[in-house]
Structure 1
Amino acid sequence: MTFGSAVTSDDVPAYLSSVRGGREVPENVLTEFRRRYDVIGRSPLIDITLEQARALQALLDAESGTGSFVVRAGMLHSAPTIPAAIQELVTTGATSIVAIVLAPQYSPIILAGYERAMDAARTAHPSLDMHVSGAWYSLPEWIESLSARLVATLEELPTGASDTPVIFTAHSLPRAVVERDPAYIEQLRETATAVAARASLPPARWQFAYQSAGHTPEPWLTPDVKDLLPGLRDRGVRTVVVAPVQFLADHLEVLFDIDVAAVDEARELGIDMRRVHMPNAAPDLIRALAAVVRRTMPSPAVGSR
């Protein structure tokens, strides 16, 4: 399960209306998001999520035999939707479902949309045995996947850039939302700490920041990644690496918010910003998702066969 996305600027009105629960979207917000999608051309998120599902299906088939698992992708705000995916699984004869949220850090309060989707599924299919993966940010396979990509990015830097600073990022949230479950922020920071340790980064070499704050009047979590750039410039930094700890795939928040908006601002300050590649459907991420499936499945009852 994932949040979903508009694919092109033509899809923006329907997508944002869904995100806002059917409420009217201000024209200035529509205009800005259409512009962003026009800049990146199209968002590959839905295609990547479907590819992740196919790759996970292939791996589970290889591990457990064809027919043991059926994998489908569902989105909160795009097609194929979560209800449609669950209905398709029911049609195949599924009696037990493992639902993986494609966000390693999890809070049933902050990510309540997934909880509502699963509650609706339980109501529609009361005989189904459903299990939601919950948080899997500390899974060794996930930490290894992120750290390997970070190390690869650092190794691509010019000779002499061994002290290049790293900024780990996560999607910002309204402060009022986070106050309902502060532990969610600790999950994000713990992910950054674990990845930094696995990549042998000393604490002085990395920072944690937010990105992609929303277009709403309430206060959002700070600092934004762009807020850190002037301080880096003043320290004489000329190259910085950005590593999102929350995203599994390329989408607007990566392709525009980092690759365009943040990169442009860094360039104006004389800083070359590099971004760690997203896992997308790479084999190491798919192995991590398979581990999440195994971990989430209910244990057989004692004496059962």
Structure 2
Amino acid sequence: MSDASPYDALLLLSFGGPEGPDDVMPFLENVTRGRGIPRERLEAVAEHYLHFGGKSPINDQNKELLAALRRELDARGLGGLPLLWGNRNWEPYVTDVLREAHEGGARRVLTVFTSAYSSYSSCRQYREDLGRTLQTLAEEGRRLDVDKVRHYFNHPAFTDVNAAAVADALGQLPEQARAGARVVFVTHSVPDAMNDVSGPPAAGGGAYVRQHLDVAGEVARRASERAGRTLEWDLAYCSRSGPPTQQWLEPDVNDHLRALHADGVPGVVVAPIGFVSDHMEVKFDLDTEAAETAEEIGLPFARAATVGAHAEFVAGLVDLVEERAAQARGEAPARPATGALGPSHTVCPVDCCRNLRADLPAATGEDYRSPAVAGA
């Protein structure tokens, strides 16, 4: 029988996104506050959102994922577990959501991030926002404990759904382009320095790239079995936003498409394995810019789907919820993982994916101390 105890609520924690044109600049200012990003860069990124009417697709996608999670929880007899949704950078803000949850009786909450990998921007920054939230609530006299599920980049559900998506996209290419088509796995670029400190310090850093390479190899292997031939693949990056003087992970996906075409590759499948859903970096950077680059150079192009709210992926997330709950009860559940890296840590080690700009409390880590409750 399914059991989520000792947790009395489940939180889906995401990035957030604007709901209309008037929200775009305030949202981007929230995202970049304290980072010294020039106004011109914000205005350039704002155009990406305005290209789609000023509304990010991420909010509707999260609502779809929430509905799918609710169905899966109910099907497993967990209908009484409250399911919450909070964002880091836009409404519904996570502080407001957890305050309301506390008022409703929640005292221990389990969190699922809409980000599968290790790095400052894809994990620790979420943990820092949770740390600030818990401090704010403690100052109001509200005590909450928050845990999270482990990184799920190599959970079988994530890799299997991605592999099926790659195989399906391969079938969308013109027949003459399929035999020698290359798979280009894509994720969000980050500064080299951020990758260097990603993951536990004892592992030597570099976890962000290492995890993506491991997943790409596993997804390619599984997609090759479906396709009936060995698929060649590369890892490329999108959405660079730093100054030209700062080193970011490369190659850029557009540059890489041009290089593949110059080498005579007859077609490409672009697979956004770094993303859980079709949010702005997928819709603009891949479906718009990369697709335009491919059309410009005459390179047949198909984009694989993200895992989104696929039933197998959603079931995998609930498996992770049950796994973490069992650990919290002192049990030793099975922890399936694909590839060579094994299952990720449950509690983040000290200085994992550390912040290069400031030393901020980050919840759900070994070095985090719950803030004292006012008046306690």
TM-score (norm 1): 0.90
**1:286 — aligned with what?**
314
Within the candidate set 66, 69, 72, 1:53 is matched to: 66
Query: Which portions of structure 1, spanning 4 or more consecutive aligned residues, are displaced by more than 6 angstroms?
Result: 201-204
Structure 1 residues 213 and 108 mapped into 2: Cα distance closer, same or farther (>3 Å)? Answer: closer
Measured after TM superposition, the shift of residue 73 of structure 1 is 1.2
For residues 232-253 of structure 1, the C-alpha deviation after alignment (integer angstroms, 9 at most, x for no partner) is 1123223211001121111110
Structure 2 counterpart of 1:214, from 218, 230, 241: 241
**In 2, Cα distance between equivalents of 1:301 and 1:208:** 39
Q: CA deviation at 1:144?
A: 0.9
The 5 A counterparts of 1:236-247 are 236-247=264-275
Number of residue equivalences = 301
Residues 1:231 and 2:252 are matched in the alignment = no
Residue in 2 aligned with 1:66? 79
User: Structure 1 residue 34: deviation in Å?
Assistant: 2.7
Tell me the residue number matched to 1:129: 145
Alignment of 1:7-26 (within 5 A): 7-21=19-33, 26=38
Q: 2:173 aligns with which of 157, 162, 169?
A: 157
1:38-93 CA-partner distances (Å, limit 9, x unpaired): 223332101111221222122112202421x1111111111111112222322332
Residue 248 (str. 1) matches residue 264 (str. 2) = no
Q: 1:200 aligns with which of 214, 224, 227?
A: 224
Q: Distance in 2 between matches of 1:170 and 1:65?
A: 33
Native 8 Å contact 2:158 2:307 kept in 1 = no
Matched, 1:184 2:201: no
Q: Deviations over 1:158-195 (max 9, x none)?
A: 32413211100110001122222212221111111111
1:142 partner amino acid: F
Q: Percent identity between the aligned chains?
A: 29
Q: Does residue 40 of structure 2 align to residue 28 of structure 1?
A: yes
SS at the partner of 1:196? helix
Measured after TM superposition, the shift of residue 108 of structure 1 is 5.8
Which range is displaced more, 219-228 or 229-238? 229-238
Quote the offset at 1:127 in angstroms. 4.1
Query: Larger deviation: 78-87 or 106-115?
Result: 106-115
Give the corresponding residue for 1:142.
Answer: 158
In structure 2, C-alpha distance between the alignment counterparts of 1:251 and 1:109, rounded to whole Å: 16
Q: Which stretch of the first structure deviates more once superposed, 140-149 or 288-297? A: 288-297
| Whole-Å separation in 2 of the counterparts to 1:286 and 1:107 | 23
More helix per residue: 1
Judging changes above 3 Å, is the alpha-carbon distance between structure 1 residues 43 and 127 closer, same or farther for their aligned structure 2 residues? closer
Distance 2:266 2:124 in 1: 40
Deviation at 1:262, TM superposition (A): 1.2
In structure 2, what is the equivalent of residue 173 of structure 1? Answer: 190
Would you say the 8 A contact 1:172–1:222 is kept in 2? yes
Query: Could you list the runs of 5+ residues in structure 2 that have no partner in the other structure?
Result: 1-12, 199-205, 332-376
2:91 alignment partner, SS class: coil
For residue 35 of structure 1, report the CA deviation from its aligned partner.
2.0
TM-score normalized by the length of structure 2: 0.74
Q: Tell me if the contact between 2:28 and 2:46 (Cα under 8 Å) persists in the aligned partners.
A: no
Secondary structure of 1:72's counterpart equals strand
Two-structure CA RMSD over aligned residues (Å): 2.2
Which secondary structure does the structure 1 equivalent of 2:185 belong to? Answer: strand
Equivalent residue, structure 2, for 1:38: 50
**Structure 1 portions without partners, runs of 5+:** none
CA contact (8 A) 1:110 1:177 kept: no
Q: For the residues of structure 1 that align with 2:49 and 2:143, how far apart are their CA atoms?
A: 41
Q: Letter of the aligned partner of 2:329 in structure 1? A: P
**Could you tell me how far 1:17 is from its partner in structure 2?**
0.9
Q: Which has the higher contact order (CA 8 A, sep 6+)?
A: 2
Does structure 2 retain, via aligned residues, the 8 Å contact 1:9–1:35?
A: no
